[in-house]
Structure formats: structure tokens, C-alpha cells
Structure 1
């Protein structure tokens, strides 16, 4: 069980090392850290560097106190507040320990009050000074809440929604979206609260704003974060529901944007966002009906760009969730392109794994597709990738899926894989990854008609049943 201590306890031990054992500050810190770690204490939330003070004299504590004092005045000095905000942001960006301490000192409430103090001006034409001030507060809020989204409460949710509803200044919208993204990571309830405020409508409207790539990028970030299921504290999240609702509203405009933006960096973000929303077969059909011919243009224009290829493979895999869309992709000529990409980027394990996964998806339950892959040289490319990345679990696993799906209904093609030495390669993979995905490897060996011992998952005990 992980043990935790307070910042005060840590400070006292360091102070004791300095005063009673006459250690230098560096030695005192090193000794204290070693002592607590030996006891199994988690120090991730502890500020270990005491060169800027300890206890109530920590720089971050002093900064929050100064902000509290400045903002307590009826008419505060904005220049002085900006200076302290910069210090607070800088401290929060150091590590989670600094952010936790700032949160405990009440930094969130101070920043929220500062934003509300400017709220009446947000709906008006802002001066350059006001814009700079509001963005500074929002950026500091984002730094403060990084990996500690629990600070967000209803008043903060309302402010995010009000800004997205009423503000037209694109720089402020970008800062607000960045804050929203931070609030959504690893926090299911924040996502649900924001979604309940109909933030989807705001995001849909922002997709229509033209000429600002940064604004579009931040909007796409929020859309993707709304589909996450990464909060371990929640047994059942609503990621699927969010993705489905966002998909119905946004897949058409997103697909149209993909047609207009076929070059990095936006093309990668657009494909990743579309793929994250394809959680139902009918959504895949919707994208296909909007026209995915641009996907071939993207691959042709960015053939050597590994980052774009990775996201394109994710989108192909997602679209293949609909059998009709999968068949249309194959009819359009995706098979030789996929095999060519696999060979071109075989040295990159991530691109290789994702391409193999897309090949597996395209050939699943489709014997004619498997035959096309075999005719296009997929066996040679797959075996080569398995040889290049023998210790990469995802490459080996996805290769097993691809092989199995290609030959499951085309057993007459097994001889091709055997000529390439697939059996020894799969057996070698089994020795390394039997505990992780041994079943997948054995399934591939079985469908290749190799000698394989299959374990009985359940056996009876031979008990006589009375009738």
C-alpha cells in the first residue's frame, strides 16, 4: 500500500537534517528523499526543492498570498497581478507537487474570481490590455489544473460555457478551449457536466470558423477528450454516448474539413478526431456517404510522412467497422496502398503495428479481400515486419490477426506463408508473448494448419448426472 505524507512533514525532516545533523541543504534533501522512499512513501505531490523556501515561505505559497492580497482590493493593480500570475504559472509548470500546493492555498478560487471580475467585459469589444489580462488568467488556470482537474466545480463549468456562448475573441476562445481540455483529462464527471451544458453545440459552431488553424486544433482536442474513458475512479463512463452524440452532429463537417485540409498538421488531427467518433456502424456509413475519397489523396500526398500515415491507418481501421464501407474501400483500391505503406514504413514499429491492424480489419470475414492482400504481396511484407520487430508486442499481435484473417477462409493460400517461414516466426513469438496474447498466436498457427497444441478452456469432472 502506498503511503503519503504532508508537505509540512517533509519540510520538518529536511529542516531537522540541516539543523541537527549539520547537513547542507542539498544533502538534507537527498537524505530525506531516500528516507521516505525506503519507507514506501509516495513523494510525487511533495515539493522537494527547498532552495526557494520551505513551509509557509515556499515561493508558490507567497505568490498565492500576494495574489490574494492584490485581488482583495476593490481596484487592483493589473500590472502587479500579471507579474504574480506569470510567477504562479511558471511554478505550476514545474511539476504536480507545485500545482497541488497552489491548489491547497486557494489559487483556483482567486483565478476564477479574476475571470468573473472581467466577465462583463467579455461580451463587449475588449481592449488589448483586457484581452492580455484574461488570456494570462486562463493560461495560469490551465497550468494550475494540469493533472488535477478535480478543482473544477459548477461555477467554473458555467464560466466555460458562458465564454463559449458569448465571446468572439478567438485568442480568448483558444485559451478557454485549452483550459477545457485540461479539465476533461482523467475526469469523467467534468466531461459529463460540460456535455450536459450542451458544449457540443459550441464545438460544432467553432468548426465553422475559418482561417484560424489554432482555434480548429484546440476545438478538435476538446472533441477527442470528450470521448475518453480514462477515469479509473468511475466504474461506468459515458464515453460511448458522448462519441455517438458528437458523431451525429460533427462527422459531416469534420469530413468536409478533411477534404479541405489534406496537409499536416491539421490533416492528422482531423483523421484522429473522426476515428475517435466512429463508435457505431451507421456513423461509419455517414462518413462514407460524405465521401472518403480524400483519404486516398491524403495518403498519396503524405506517403512518406509517418505521423500522417499512423492517423490514416486509425481512420481506415475505424471505417472498416462497417462491412459495406470496408468493401467500398477495397473496391476503391486501398489494398495495394496498405501493402505499400507497410513496406515503406516497416522500420517504424508504431506505423507498422497500426498498418497491420488496418489490414486485419479490412480482411476480417472477407475471403476476397484476403485474396487481394495475398496477391498484392502482403505475406512478404508482414513476415518482413515480424522479423524487423521480433520484440515488439503490438507488431507481433497485429501481424497474427492480419495473417489469421487473410487465411481463415482462404486455406489454399497457406502454402505462401509456409514458404516464407511463418511457422518458426510465430513459434518464436509464442515463446516471448505466450502470457500476453498466446491465444492469438495459436489461432494464427491453427488457421495456417500448423502443428499446434490447443488448451481446453473447460473440462468436465466426470461426475455422474442423476436424471
Structure 2
């Protein structure tokens, strides 16, 4: 278990080093850090580089106190903006300052400031009000980065109220960023936002957003709502969220992809669509809405590794539906992927994702294997394995691709063996045998090579009594 300490404990040790051992402030800090790290203490939540003569002298603490004071009386907006900027800058430095600000009550004062403008949300906002709201939102985003536990019912209601009433693009962008920040590694925040029917707001924004930045933030929030990254929750609702979002969003997203075939929106659209394809009927929905959209995007962005990577994620997700997978291969995706694999061979990430798509499209489909073999897949796969011998993702996905291609087409083993696949797989096993040795041995087995398979269970030789 990781050991942690409080800021006060750390401060006391630094003071002790300065007073009893007559160290300079920097020497005292360095010594305190060394002491705690030697004891296995996690200092990630500790402010280390401030002069800690007293708790009240922390810049974060004094700034939050000043904001509380201003909020309790009539204030000058420019003075408020100055302190908001200081708090945002401090919170952006590290988690320790954000934790300090949270303990000092920064969240509550920021929410109170935002609520003070709630009556103007539904009106045409003045430049002054818009600037005020944006400043508060940006400070909230900095404060809540990696500490989404601060979000409460008031914050949830404010997010929903702003999305329901405000039309200012910059405020909507800030609100969506804030919501996204609150969704990372926090299952209950995702569920509470979902319970507010935020799906309707996101669906509307997809249809009406002319601002690329606003659309990008909308797509990011959609993806955040489908995460399953909160280790504190045994069973999350990522699948349920993705299913509901997919049913409502995939058709407009597919139609939008037909229009936005270039970066930066095309990769984001495809990544978002892939994250929502969690059921067969959703894969079919995308295939029916835009049967040729993938080919159009790839044709327009042949040289773009970023687009190719996200397109491959979408292809892999769509291949989860057997009929859609067959339609893709019949439409000619095999030679396209092989060409892309050769074109982007030097890019390890692109290689790994393309190989994963090849593996998905050839799984239990001997006819598809023939298409890839006729397109020159063996040469391209082996070439990528040679170029990236130490990249685990490339080697693993190449193993899957080889195995799926030859598993039901053993007559094609000769081609891979002539290209040196056996030696490459054995070399990969030496490096990655502990990580995915079974996959490598399976590829060797299906190629007809000599391979020793692990015996998963050993009998004890006990005689069964009759």
C-alpha cells in the first residue's frame, strides 16, 4: 500500500530542517523530500517548492481567502479576474496545489460566483457577463483536473442549466470541458450527468454546432461518458451509456463524417463512433447510414497517419458484426488496408492499428484471407515486423493477423515462411514471451512450425474410486 502524508506533516519537517539543522529553505526542502521518498511516501499531493513558514502564507490559500472576501461584498470585476487568474495558474502547476485549493474551499466560492450569474443564462449575455462566466469556468477546469470528487449536485445542475440555456459558443466550450474533466476516473459523476438527460444537449450540439472547437469538445464529452476507468466502482455503466448514446448519436455522427472528411474533425468523429459501437445493431446502423464513408475519408487522407489510425479503430469496431465485416471486404477494404500498411510502415502506432484491423477482418473468414493474400498482405505484415521488432503492439497484432489469415488457409503458410515469418516470430517470443507468448506460439503452430505449447493443467495421477 502506498504511504501518504499531509501537507502539514511535510511543512513541519521542512521547518525542523531549517530551525534545528540551520539549512537554507531549498536544502531543507531537498532533505525532506529525500527522507520521505526513502520511506516510500507518495509526495504527489504535496506542495514542495513554496516557502512553508506558515500555512497562511501559501499563495493558493491567500488567493482563495481573497476570492471568498470579494464574493461576500461588492467587488470590482477586474480585481476578481486577477485573483481567478492567480488561482488558475497555481492549480495548473500540479495536483498538490489543486488539493490545497480544494481543501481551502475554492470549489464552493467558484460555484457561488457562477450561480450569481444564473439569472442571465437565458438572456443575451453582455460581453462583461460572458467574460465573467468564462473566467470562472476556466478556473473550475484547472481546479478539478484529476480531482473530480469536488463536483456536487449544485455543479451538476449548473452544467445542465448552462447547456440548456446559453448559446455563447465560448461558454459552451468551457462547460463541456468542465463536464469532461469531472467524468475522468469518476463513475458516479458520469452517471449523475447522464441522469440529467445530457444526451439531448449533446445530440443538439452535434446537429447545430458550426464551431469546430465546440463540436470537438462535444465529441470529447461523449467519449468521456463511455469510460470505464474508476477503480473504486466494481460495476460501471460504460456499456449502457455507450449503447444509449450510440442509438441516438451514430446516425448524425455518420452523416457529419460525410461532410467533415478532413482533420481535425474527421479523426475525432471516427474515434467517437468507434467508442459507441458496443452492439451488433449499432454496427449495422453505421453501415446502413454511410456504406462508403470510410473509403471517402481514407481516399481524402491517404497520407495522414492520424486519420488512418482512427479509421482503423472504426473498421475494427465495425468488424464485430459479421455481415458488416463481409460488406467491408466485398467493397474492397483489403487492398486499401494493405496499401496503407505499406505507406505508413515507419509509423509504429499506425502499423499496429492497421494490423489489428486486418486481424479483425480475417477472423474466421477464409474468403477474406484470400482477399488479403491476393493484395500482398504477407509482404506488408512481415515488413512491419522487421521494422518494429521491439514494439509490442506491432508484434502482437501481427501475430493475430498471421494466425487469422492462415488458420483456415494453410496452403498459404509457404508464403509467410518464405518471407521469414518463423524467425521473426521466434525473435518476438524471446522479447515478449511473458506478455503474449501464447499468441506468438499460436501463430507458429498455425504456420506449421515447431513449437512447444505450455501445458495449462497437470493431472496428479490420483486413481478414481469406483
TM bin, normalised by shorter chain, reads: over 0.9
Q: Are the counterparts in 2 of residues 53 and 59 from structure 1 also a CA contact under 8 Å?
A: no
2:65 matched to 1:59? Answer: no
Using the TM superposition, name which of 338-347 and 1-10 deviates more.
1-10
Residue in structure 2 matched with residue 46 of structure 1 by the alignment: 46
Q: Are the counterparts in 2 of residues 7 and 55 from structure 1 also a CA contact under 8 Å?
A: no
Residue in structure 2 matched with residue 204 of structure 1 by the alignment: 203
Change (3 A) 1:53 1:81: farther
Residue in structure 1 matched with residue 100 of structure 2 by the alignment: 101
Residue in structure 2 matched with residue 317 of structure 1 by the alignment: 316
Q: Are the counterparts in 2 of residues 246 and 277 from structure 1 also a CA contact under 8 Å?
A: yes
Partner Cα separation in structure 2 for residue 37 and residue 306 of structure 1? 42
2:355 matched to 1:359? Answer: no
Give the aligned length: 466
Partner Cα separation in structure 2 for residue 183 and residue 60 of structure 1? 21
Q: Are the counterparts in 1 of residues 14 and 52 from structure 2 also a CA contact under 8 Å?
A: no
Aligned counterparts, 1:172-187, within 5 A? 172-187=171-186
Partner Cα separation in structure 2 for residue 286 and residue 339 of structure 1? 26
Partner Cα separation in structure 2 for residue 460 and residue 21 of structure 1? 66
Partner Cα separation in structure 2 for residue 296 and residue 309 of structure 1? 11
Residue in structure 2 matched with residue 149 of structure 1 by the alignment: 148
Change (3 A) 1:53 1:382: farther
Partner Cα separation in structure 2 for residue 302 and residue 29 of structure 1? 52
Partner Cα separation in structure 2 for residue 444 and residue 160 of structure 1? 51
Using the TM superposition, name which of 129-138 and 154-163 deviates more.
154-163
**Cα-to-partner distance string for 1:240-284 (whole Å, 9 max, x where unaligned):** 110000000000000001000001000010000000000111100
Using the TM superposition, name which of 153-162 and 9-18 deviates more.
9-18
Q: Are the counterparts in 1 of residues 15 and 53 from structure 2 also a CA contact under 8 Å?
A: no
Runs of at least 5 residues in structure 2 that lack an aligned partner in the other structure = none
Deviation of residue 53 (structure 1)?
6.5
Deviation of residue 210 (structure 1)?
3.7
Residue in structure 1 matched with residue 4 of structure 2 by the alignment: 4
Partner Cα separation in structure 2 for residue 54 and residue 344 of structure 1? 60
Q: Are the counterparts in 2 of residues 161 and 197 from structure 1 also a CA contact under 8 Å?
A: yes
Deviation of residue 54 (structure 1)?
4.7
2:380 matched to 1:381? Answer: yes
**Cα-to-partner distance string for 1:421-467 (whole Å, 9 max, x where unaligned):** 11111111111111111110111111111111122222332322233
Runs of at least 5 residues in structure 1 that lack an aligned partner in the other structure = none
Using the TM superposition, name which of 16-25 and 424-433 deviates more.
16-25
Partner Cα separation in structure 2 for residue 177 and residue 422 of structure 1? 48
Deviation of residue 347 (structure 1)?
1.0
Deviation of residue 292 (structure 1)?
3.5
Deviation of residue 18 (structure 1)?
2.0
Secondary structure at the aligned position of 2:3 is classed as coil
Partner Cα separation in structure 2 for residue 343 and residue 54 of structure 1? 62
Q: Are the counterparts in 2 of residues 255 and 292 from structure 1 also a CA contact under 8 Å?
A: no
**Cα-to-partner distance string for 1:380-418 (whole Å, 9 max, x where unaligned):** 111111111111111110000000000011000000001
Residue in structure 1 matched with residue 332 of structure 2 by the alignment: 333
Aligned counterparts, 1:13-92, within 5 A? 13-51=13-51, 54-73=54-73, 75-92=74-91
Partner Cα separation in structure 1 for residue 461 and residue 196 of structure 2? 60
Partner Cα separation in structure 2 for residue 363 and residue 415 of structure 1? 18
Residue in structure 1 matched with residue 412 of structure 2 by the alignment: 413
Partner Cα separation in structure 2 for residue 129 and residue 273 of structure 1? 35
Deviation of residue 77 (structure 1)?
2.4
Residue in structure 1 matched with residue 430 of structure 2 by the alignment: 431
Q: Are the counterparts in 2 of residues 445 and 452 from structure 1 also a CA contact under 8 Å?
A: yes
**Cα-to-partner distance string for 1:20-76 (whole Å, 9 max, x where unaligned):** 222222211111111111111111000001148752101000000000111011x33
Partner Cα separation in structure 2 for residue 247 and residue 53 of structure 1? 54
Residue in structure 2 matched with residue 442 of structure 1 by the alignment: 441
Deviation of residue 158 (structure 1)?
1.1
Secondary structure at the aligned position of 2:235 is classed as coil
Partner Cα separation in structure 2 for residue 101 and residue 355 of structure 1? 45
TM-score, length of structure 2 as denominator length:
0.98
Using the TM superposition, name which of 435-444 and 447-456 deviates more.
447-456
Give every structure 1 segment of 4 or more consecutive aligned residues whose post-TM-superposition deviation is greater than 6 Å: none
**Cα-to-partner distance string for 1:52-109 (whole Å, 9 max, x where unaligned):** 8752101000000000111011x33222111110100000000000000000000000
Q: Are the counterparts in 2 of residues 63 and 87 from structure 1 also a CA contact under 8 Å?
A: yes
Change (3 A) 1:465 1:8: same
Partner Cα separation in structure 2 for residue 391 and residue 232 of structure 1? 30
Partner Cα separation in structure 2 for residue 460 and residue 12 of structure 1? 60
Partner Cα separation in structure 1 for residue 451 and residue 152 of structure 2? 57
Partner Cα separation in structure 1 for residue 291 and residue 437 of structure 2? 36
Partner Cα separation in structure 2 for residue 91 and residue 209 of structure 1? 36
Secondary structure at the aligned position of 2:208 is classed as coil
**Cα-to-partner distance string for 1:171-205 (whole Å, 9 max, x where unaligned):** 11111000000000010010011011111111001
